[in-house]
């Protein structure tokens, strides 16, 4: 076995692939691939063969529905994942056939570019003898590079118009899927021609929230007292390409929360560094292992977020939700504010630290169907 590579345990019939190595964190990379050739996954016939790349934790829930749907229809799906945040753990909980390639990106632009190029090279090696009918991801820039190199039709999703790397994926993709509120000017700026753009109503999170039912046991697992105010806090994605600054306001709010005796704070860290930093503070619960974050947010009395996806999930589920994101706001977040589901603490005001009276808000099924049908349509059009 190549040094720095270890197999994912518990996957019968799988073995390490020596040449697939991360450029960012080789010491923690887990790689598994089938002992049979990958072409066994891409058995040619009338079925569609789709390569789905999971680059971040939220992508597991986002693509879970479409992966299961494709497989139920008899189509072949090949899954790759980046060892970033909780992506691998969540993916392996849902599927046993995930190939893990690459790790967490460094914070510097040069390091990010090197990690991106290294992961793209390793993915290309993995797929060099295969030709899936389509590639699908939510802003996987390594997948975009591989799709361009191997001439695989790419379908990419995106809901943040200020992500600089959209210049890459939007130009390479055959289809670009965005929410209806995504600015047309941004599509033009990133090179997405009108004929390749498909839009869906609402928010991508509706795809998996419509059928979500919270598990109340998560509160007991974390030792939380349901009689006290429970606040979930999610720090900013510091170091991300679209968020290069520190969020000092988030830390100020956390200090206020810690001083309230009737308030319990659960901080969902983004990285091991986040976990170490915040776990050292008194009055803050920092889970050390993957938890049912959706159920936690749905059961909380309020949520304060410095990022995007989890903040939107909380708002759509009806939990009083506040944003302190200091990057340029997304059009989808502005729409949630217009609907009264998200409150912007950057413009003033204070969060209400009180027990909520309303129950979890149901997410309409039609929103789920619209997102799912749009993805299906895009895949059908490029194959």
Same domain, yes or no: 225 and 308 = yes
Cα angle, residue 140 at apex, residues 249 and 288 outer, rounded to 5°: 50
- The radius of gyration computed from the CA coordinates of the chain, to the nearest angstrom, equals 21
Please report where in the chains the tokens 């050739």 appear, as a residue: 37
Is residue 294 assigned to a domain?
yes
> Can you tell me the distance from the alpha carbon of 74 to that of 266, in angstroms, rounded to the nearest whole number?
41
Is residue 233 assigned to a domain?
yes
User: What pLDDT score was predicted for residue 38?
Assistant: 54
The percentage of residues in the chain with a pLDDT greater than 70, rounded to a whole number, is: 86
Residue 225's pLDDT band, with cuts at 50, 70 and 90, is very high
> Can you tell me the distance from the alpha carbon of 187 to that of 189, in angstroms, rounded to the nearest whole number?
5
Residue 9's pLDDT band, with cuts at 50, 70 and 90, is very low
Residue 273's pLDDT band, with cuts at 50, 70 and 90, is confident
Same domain, yes or no: 54 and 188 = yes
Is residue 354 assigned to a domain?
no
pLDDT tens per residue across span 165-211 = 999 999 999 999 999 999 999 999 999 999 999 999 999 999 999 99
> Can you tell me the distance from the alpha carbon of 240 to that of 112, in angstroms, rounded to the nearest whole number?
9
Residue 129's pLDDT band, with cuts at 50, 70 and 90, is confident
Same domain, yes or no: 30 and 74 = yes
> Can you tell me the distance from the alpha carbon of 383 to that of 372, in angstroms, rounded to the nearest whole number?
17
Is residue 7 assigned to a domain?
no
Is residue 362 assigned to a domain?
no
Cα angle, residue 81 at apex, residues 270 and 150 outer, rounded to 5°: 135
Q: Give the mean model confidence (pLDDT) for residues 351-378.
A: 94
SS3 string, 110-164, reads HHHHHHHHHHHHHHHHHCCCCCCCEEEEECCHHHHHHHHHHCCCEEEECCCCCCC
Closest CA to 164 of 186, 194, 135: 186
Q: What is the DSSP string of 322-351?
A: EE---SPPPHHHHHHHHTTS-EEGGGS---
Does the pTM exceed 0.85? Answer: yes
Q: Are 163 and 138 in contact (CB under 8 A)?
A: no
Same domain, yes or no: 145 and 263 = no
Same domain, yes or no: 59 and 186 = yes
Same domain, yes or no: 29 and 134 = yes
Is residue 6 assigned to a domain?
no
Tokens of 93: 């909980």
Mean pLDDT lowest for which of 105-119, 190-204, 272-286, 336-350? Answer: 105-119
Is residue 360 assigned to a domain?
no
Same domain, yes or no: 124 and 241 = no
User: What pLDDT score was predicted for residue 181?
Assistant: 98
- Residue 92's domain is classified under what CATH number? 3.40.50.2000
Expressed as residue numbers, the domain containing 61 is: 14-209+367-382
> Can you tell me the distance from the alpha carbon of 37 to that of 127, in angstroms, rounded to the nearest whole number?
11
Same domain, yes or no: 98 and 172 = yes
Is residue 99 assigned to a domain?
yes
Q: Helices 87-94 & 58-72, crossing angle to 10 degrees?
A: 30
Q: How many domains does the chain have?
A: 2
Task: Using DSSP bridges, classify how beta strands 229-234 and 175-179 pair: parallel, antiparallel or unpaired.
Answer: unpaired
Any residues with CB less than 8 A from the CB of 37 and at least 6 apart, and which? 129
pLDDT at 264 over 60: yes
Same domain, yes or no: 154 and 198 = yes
Same domain, yes or no: 178 and 233 = no
Same domain, yes or no: 268 and 310 = yes
- Compare 77 and 289 and report the one with higher pLDDT: 77
> Can you tell me the distance from the alpha carbon of 14 to that of 76, in angstroms, rounded to the nearest whole number?
18
Same domain, yes or no: 139 and 228 = no
């Amino acid at each position: 076995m190549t040094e720095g590579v270890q197999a994912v345990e518990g996957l019968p019939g799988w073995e390490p692939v020596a040449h697939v190595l991360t450029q960012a964190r080789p010491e923690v990379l887990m790689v598994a691939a089938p002992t049979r050739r990958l072409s066994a996954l891409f058995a040619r016939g009338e079925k569609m063969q789709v390569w789905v790349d999971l680059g971040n934790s939220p992508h597991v829930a986002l693509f879970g529905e479409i992966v299961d749907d494709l497989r139920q229809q008899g189509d072949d799906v090949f899954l790759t994942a980046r060892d970033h945040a909780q992506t691998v753990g969540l993916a392996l909980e849902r599927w046993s056939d995930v190939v893990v390639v690459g790790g967490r990106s460094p914070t510097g632009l040069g390091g990010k570019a090197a990690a991106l190029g290294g992961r793209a090279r390793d993915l290309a090696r993995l797929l060099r003898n295969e030709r899936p009918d389509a590639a699908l991801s939510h802003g996987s820039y390594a997948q975009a590079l591989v799709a361009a190199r191997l001439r695989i039709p790419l379908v990419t999703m995106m809901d943040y118009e200020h992500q600089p790397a959209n210049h890459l994926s939007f130009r390479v993709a055959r289809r670009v899927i965005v929410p209806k509120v995504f600015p047309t000017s941004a599509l033009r700026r990133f090179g997405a021609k009108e004929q390749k753009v498909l839009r869906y109503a609402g928010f991508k999170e509706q795809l998996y929230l419509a059928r979500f039912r919270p598990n109340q046991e998560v509160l007991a697992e974390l030792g939380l007292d349901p009689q006290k105010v429970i606040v979930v806090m999610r720090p900013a994605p510091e170091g991300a390409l679209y968020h290069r600054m520190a969020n000092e306001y988030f830390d100020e709010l956390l200090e206020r929360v810690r001083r309230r005796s009737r308030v319990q704070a659960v901080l969902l860290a983004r990285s091991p560094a986040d976990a170490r930093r915040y776990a050292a503070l008194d009055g803050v619960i920092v889970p050390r292992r993957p938890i049912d974050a959706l159920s936690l947010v749905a059961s909380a009395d309020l949520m304060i977020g410095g990022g995007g996806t989890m903040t939107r999930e909380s708002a759509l589920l009806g939990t009083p939700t506040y944003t302190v994101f200091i990057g340029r706001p997304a059009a989808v977040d502005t729409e949630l504010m217009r609907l009264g589901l998200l409150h912007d603490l950057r413009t003033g005001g204070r969060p209400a630290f009180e027990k909520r009276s309303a129950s979890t808000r149901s997410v309409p099924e039609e929103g789920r169907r619209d997102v799912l049908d749009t993805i299906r349509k895009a895949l059908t059009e490029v194959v």
